[in-house]
Structure 1
Amino acid sequence: MDRRSFIQQAGLAGAAVLTPPYLIPSRPAKYKTVLIGSGWWGLNILREAIRSGQVTVAALCDVDENQLKKCKAEVDKLCNDQPKTYKDYRECIKAERPDIVINATPDHWHALIAIEAMQSGAHVFLEKPISHTVKEGSAIEKAARDTQKVCIVDFHRRYSPHNVSGQEFLKSGKAGKIHSVKAFVHYNNGMGKKEEESAPPAGMDWDFYCGPAPLSTYNPGMHPRGWRQYTQFANGNIGDWGPHWFDQILWWTEEKMPRKIYSTQKSDIRNSLANAPEEQRAVYEFESFICTWEHTLLSNHPERQGENVGVYFHGTEGVFHMGWQRGWTFYPNDTKKEILREEAKMNQPDQQNIDLVWNDFMACIPTGKRPFADIERGRHATNMALLGNLSAKLGRSIEWDHEKDMIVGDKAANKLLVREYRKPWEYPKG
């Protein structure tokens, strides 16, 4: 069975899933496209864009010349577009006036670049988490609505066949009434080693890399991929992995956001300069169920059965595990019943389905429809991660008012919904 037929038969979420996300326009247009953030993941996205046959790669942008050279060499193998290269995203957007901007930068750059791109007339393919702080996400969504540009979030798990059919299984009631869910990521990265602080690599503008974040002392553990464990640039494992799994939970429930959040974290074992927590627990209180988050960088929990990432949905009929590389599994409470499984169907070499997200993006640009992974969904899932970190930083629980986009009765907590930008960068207005 091909992917399109599979998803049509899944019947999940009605027309929202069965129409545009999987239908490519019959007359593809050549959208002028630029990639900002030319590392390994940005190239993964651009590769799918090129394969779609609907884009012209106008430019690549990165503050690291080494990344740029590697990316351009690969792009030159994939197409004949001969893209220009830039270090400054502002210069790139202004000079190229692109139709599409792929934003695959570290998290602390997502808001400024996405907003400038949309205000200049571009549609945006945005990496998750959508923002580094809560109010940045609000500003990005506002820019998308004000400009009426498509802003899609790279929630490829929202499109993958086993995730789609898994949601249909949950919504059908076969797992019974769900009373609690648990999202988790368990990795054993070991003790690691303490990185030596040093000068940035030749050809890298480290001051620009830090941008609105505090100017940090460089160490090789930060770049090119280690920045996710440094809180000045990202939000640790809950910020990196959390939005994917929180999105699966918010996709399943009819509730938009939790009302209360409490989190605790620790980081005192690893031999590393990274400052994101190695262990974290968070509890999210919804109206009808309790959600928990758990991550560790110190153990893959070999004593537990099944995959070491995903979401457990605990129902009155059994436990449903929504996984990644191993698909989904349902463990019925009645041990006489068969354990049900569905294998994952993912693209190589990255075991993701970015092409399905890109197809939705392409379908929405000419129609003006909001994508299945619209910026609003990205903001909600990202906020769950950010609010978990905020609670841990405060050392107390918080009450979230989703409609007012603020924390209830806590001035100190509300101040953490934003952060001070390093000059001359200015925090976006939402």
Structure 2
Amino acid sequence: MEFNNFSSEVRVGVIGIKGMGWHNLEAILKVEGVRCTAICDIDDAVLAQRGKQLSEIGVVPKHYKDFNAMLADPEVDVVIIATPDHWHCLQAIAAMEAGKDVYVEKPLANSIVECDALIKAKQASDRIVQVGQWQRSQRHFQDAVAFVHSGKLGKIRTVKAWAYLGWKQRVPEKTDAPVPAGVDYLSWEGPAQRHPFNPNRFHYDFRWYWDYAGGLMTDWGVHLLDYALLGMKASTPKSIMATGGKFAYPEDAGDTPDTLTTVYEFDGFNIIWEHATSISNGPYGREHGIAFIGNKGTLVLDRGGWEVIAENDRMEPVPLQKRQDAGLELHMVNFIDAVRRRAPEIIKAPVEEAAHIAKLSHMGNIAYRTGQKLTWNAKKGRFSEKPANEYLAARYHNGYKFPKT
């Protein structure tokens, strides 16, 4: 399929339409000439709800429960993948192989090895792929990084990124239950290890279980550490250390830590990640953000804007520069523009860069899970510490095979 001008119609299908899939669809439909022709979900109730909402605005897409059937639909040009993390790799590669352009949610994949597989698949494909790191399309984030690169902060020795989420409470223990009517739970689990149906493992809360995701590190961490790396023009850390646990809720039903501190060592500076649930008062009074701490001043950046706090009288402070635009909508404009022009070079969040930050986040989780200080051998694509290499690849179950690339 080819799109030769900005007015060419682009037909979009969505896999996973409950949460971010719905928000992504709302954003992409604001781009002129985009039409939704298909939605796919393993939950009949979700399909019915979203179908009704779309019909109210004059959009009547086909409904699918099997994503492979949707990928075979010739009336779908572009696929949005907003399923749980453990499905991203298989579905994104399948979509490329089906000749579809792809918008895939972050994190790019649920393991380091899957990130490498997606890089290879993209390099072998002529498809346009955008990853859902939409802050890369937001002007105030770009302006903040430009200020960091200007050198006005002086030497930066420490960068902090954090997510202190007061609204995130304990995952309570719940008993296993029958699979809800209309839910294809076997397909939802897919390549993950089988478990009896439990409400805690379904829909939004999947992200607190290692079988499907990586907790706050691969949720908010991917967004915020991405800009820490961009600001410092950083590549692979020399070492990774992490410590934390279920300090707020020892009886939490999930797997991932509610409190975590991770230190990434680079030449001449460190990047520190912190997260804590049920606490809103994070560094600099912000529940989330990135702080570039320089000898002359500190630039603090979050989704609301950025400012510079001067170090005594070493520089002029910069008052809060507020957000002026909608990052997700701009990200979709960028994606559709690249699709129409067949111009992968203009993509704001390409696979290779999304893989880099996803890997960094997975490294932090692996350091936590092993309890070791880790070093990465880039030539071998492995850690120097043998126990950590057990976490490089997501284990596939239930007859699913790792994609050939």
- Is the 1:108–1:232 contact (alpha carbons within 8 Å) kept by the matching residues of 2? yes
Say whether the 8 Å CA contact 1:126–1:154 is kept in structure 2: yes
For 1:357 and 1:402, the matched residues in 2 are separated by 31
Question: Could you tell me how far apart the structure 2 residues matched to 1:367 and 1:93 are?
Answer: 20
* Equivalent in 109, 127, 147 of residue 149 of structure 1: 127
State the AA in 1 paired with 2:394: R
Q: Distance in 1 between matches of 2:389 and 2:184?
A: 33
Letter in 2 for 1:357: H
Q: Which residue pairs with 1:76 in the alignment?
A: 55
Q: In the aligned structure 1, how far is the partner of 2:158 from the partner of 2:317?
A: 22
| Residue identity opposite 2:266 in structure 1 | F
Q: State how far apart, in whole Å, the 1-side matches of 2:65 and 2:44 are.
A: 8
1:287: how far off? 2.0
Q: How many residues align?
A: 398
Match of 2:97 in 1: 119
* Offset, 1:196: 3.2
In the aligned structure 2, how far is the partner of 1:33 from the partner of 1:403? 39
Which of 63, 71, 74 is 2:42 aligned to? 63
Q: Does 1:194 align with 2:169?
A: no
1:294 to 244, 249, 274: 274
1:279 is displaced (CA, Å) by 0.9
Report the alpha carbon displacement of residue 346 of structure 1 after superposing the two structures with TM.
Answer: 4.1
Match of 1:170 among 134, 148, 161: 148
1:260 and 2:239 correspond: yes
Shift, 1:25, TM fit: 8.6
Aligned equivalent of 1:307: 286
Please point out which of 226, 230, 247 is paired with 1:251: 230
Partner letter of residue 273 of structure 2?
Answer: W
Using the TM superposition, name which of 291-300 and 49-58 deviates more.
Answer: 49-58
User: Counterparts of 1:129 and 1:210 in 2: how far apart (Å)?
Assistant: 18
The answer to whether the Cα contact below 8 Å between 1:50 and 1:78 also exists between their aligned partners in 2 is: no
Counterpart selection for 2:76 from 94, 98, 105: 98
Secondary structure at the aligned position of 1:110 is classed as helix
- Give 3-state SS (helix, strand or coil) of 1:294's partner: strand
2:211 pairs with 1:237: no
The C-alpha deviation readout for 1:62-96, integer Å capped at 9, x for no partner, is 1111111111122223343x211111111211234
**Matched residue, 1:4:** none
Q: Secondary structure at the match of 2:284?
A: coil
Residues 171 and 253 of structure 2 are in contact (CA less than 8 Å); yes or no, is this contact kept in structure 1? no
Q: Deviations over 1:303-331 (max 9, x none)?
A: x5331201111101111111113x11211
Which of residues 364, 369, 382 in structure 1 aligns to 2:358? 382
Match of 1:147, SS state, is coil
- Corresponding residue number in structure 1 for 2:343: 368
3-state SS, counterpart of residue 181 of structure 1:
strand
Measure, in 1, the Cα distance between the counterparts of 2:337 and 2:377. Answer: 34
Q: Secondary structure at the match of 1:158?
A: helix
Partner of 2:370: 394
Give the structure 2 partner of residue 405 of structure 1: 381
TM-score, with normalisation over the residues of structure 1? 0.87
- How far did residue 301 of structure 1 move? 3.1
Structure-1 residue corresponding to 2:255: 275
Q: 1:119-169 CA deviation, whole Å, 9 max, x = no partner? A: 111111010011111111111121111012111111111111211111111
Give how far 1:260 is off: 1.2
**Does 2:309 align with 1:331?**
yes
Instruction: For residue 269 of structure 1, report the CA deviation from its aligned partner.
Output: 4.3
State which drifts further: 182-191 or 284-293: 182-191
More deviation, 264-273/248-257: 264-273
Quick one: distance in 2 between partners of 1:138 and 1:192? Answer: 32
RMSD of the alignment, in Å? 2.0
Shift of 1:404: 4.2
Q: What CA deviation, in whole Å up to 9, does each residue of 1:87-129 have, x standing for no partner?
A: 1111211234632110011100000000000011111101001
1:242-295 per-position Cα deviation (integer Å, ceiling 9, x unaligned): 110111012122332212111122125424321111111111111231111111
Q: Distance in 2 between matches of 1:398 and 1:338?
A: 38
- Tell me the distance in 2 between the aligned counterparts of 1:382 and 1:116: 20
* Distance in 1 between residues matched to 2:239 and 2:404, nearest whole Å: 26
- Name the counterpart of 2:201: 222
Partner of 1:423: 398
Distance 1:163 1:134 in 2: 26
Give the distance between the partners of 1:211 and 1:27, measured in 2 at CA.
Answer: 37
Distance 2:30 2:5 in 1: 15
CA 50–403 in structure 1, closer or farther in 2 if over 3 Å, else same = farther
| Structure 1 unmatched ranges of 5 or more | 1-23, 348-352
In structure 2, stretches of 5+ residues that fail to align are none
- C-alpha contact (below 8 Å) 2:40/2:70 kept by paired residues: yes
- The SS at the match of 1:95 is coil
